Structure 1
Amino acid sequence: MVEQDWLSERFTEHRGHLHAVAYRMLGSPGEAEDAVQETWLRVSRADTGQVENLAGWLTTIVARVCLNMLEARRARREDSAGALPPEPDTPHPRIHPADRADPEDEALLADSVGIALMVVLDSLTPAERLAFVLHDVFAVSFGEIGAILDRSPAATRQLASRARRRVQNAADASAAARSAKREIIEAFLTASRSGDFAALLELLDPDAVALEIRGAHAVAAFFAGRAQAARLALVDGVPAAVWWHRGRPKAVITFAISDGKISTITIDTDPHRLHDLDIVLLHPGNEERL
């Protein structure tokens, strides 16, 4: 009983880390919690007498649980949508230095995983996802990951490399889209402040909607001469505008872009929602996090 209490206390200490691993692997808070619960069931029945590195052992167990869940999810998708085309027989060439990210690059890539990995989540195989997440995000060695996957460290490294390239491509595409959206919003704010009706009309989709206003001409007329206090910002990482008054955000203006035109403008003034947003004001050459 004393040993079980000790194990429960140690598990609780590592629970946050285990949930983070599971969430990165599964992309769902609910499934991550299920994985952590299943991990505890396995741990509580295991013999821990020979365990030297408890944190590493727990990470291995939750990773195996997540791998099983990912494979089951993939099987369900195949059953419901028909068998997926067979994966090509990918050769396993020697890994060249160009395929290896240096520690700084890997850290930068890991920072983008919250957005980029979700974009490519379903395109990664369970093994690729596990190798990438455990190595690039949680610094687990390829030897340890290989033991989970029953593959050699070199083969595991190749899995992570393939996944990393897909995530990097998604991150680059996401960054390009954010940059284009930022330029459109910045141009809209400039035209709005100066009352440039023609410029506003050029930026708006013909069927644009803002508040209860419909149609590009009506929306342009409404915003012409306004937005004097609106500032370009990142809101939860997405380009938007923030109406600033007496040092506080009073409204967040978000923009939906379709084919390079603004299709919908939404204004949120709820103080409770605004309080929970991560707002970074954008200035030429720098940012100001609030």
Structure 2
Amino acid sequence: MAVALLIGFLMLLTLGEGNEDVLRSLEAGQYDERSIDTAKRALLQNSVGISKLADAFASQIGTQQKPASSSSYPFFPPIQISKDKNYVNSCLGYTSTGKRENERREFVKTANRDYIFVLDTSGSILGSEFTLAKEAIASLTEAFCPNTFGSEITNGGTKQVAMVVFGTRVTKVMSFEDSLKGLRAVQEKIMAVKHRREGATSTATALNYVREAILGQGSSRINDPKVSTDVIIITDGRCNVDCKDLAKEADAIRAMGQGVNVFAVGVAAARECELDIISGKVPKSSFGLNGMKYFKDLAESVVEKARSMPNKCV
């Protein structure tokens, strides 16, 4: 399933000798697996590419950045075959009633924010890559605004962080209440998670768990208009259990409130179409990386950007 990376940014990169035809194909709107894969490698193995991707990631999820012009975003844009009513069927083998074709919405950003990280722990992700993912998430919990952990609503803003991992099973790593103990406790919990390498990838079940057990309970501030909630799924994009419910579950999370944003970070063999299904094809909400190493590089770039900001966060 071919989904183009943003062509404007690809123009800034050198794809390498012998790949001029690939660039011309992308510019002409001719997308195939070879051109997409080549472009992704050129983009995401390039330090400039990681920096640009970090800008996009921080701008969309953070509170202090204004989004750059669209030509600065190396993300997976809305799918080129969005008029195809069988798009979801062609990706995952089922027909969806979800809003897969024309959904457009603005990201909601407030001073008070809740973050939920949803990390794939299936067998297709190596132990070393899982460690890199944990390190990246731990860094982002510090870099994302606001700086203060708390459940009260303030003008300066407070944040809460929750985390779940999923493979065959879905397990809560940290609740919003746990994060109120502060940054150090949050990062220690993240780094203590063991990689299970389970055989299945139950992404739809994980989203259902987030909706019912995280957003629907405890100190979730889902219904407060002064709070925005970011759900960030990190996966290799290969759902293989209850995938018929993936679009429905992702849509159900977004339907919980206008302040809910769903992001998909795909690594390695992630299917771009599956990331689009998770994110609802909302522009600038899907990010593709060739491996967890690049996710960690992205997180480190976001941290560097945060340190340069007046509030030391993004």
Which category of TM-score, normalised to the shorter sequence, fits these structures? under 0.3
Specify the structure having the higher radius of gyration (Cα): 1
**TM-score, length basis structure 1:** 0.28
Richer in helix (by share): 1
Query: Scaled by the length of structure 2, what TM-score is found?
Result: 0.26
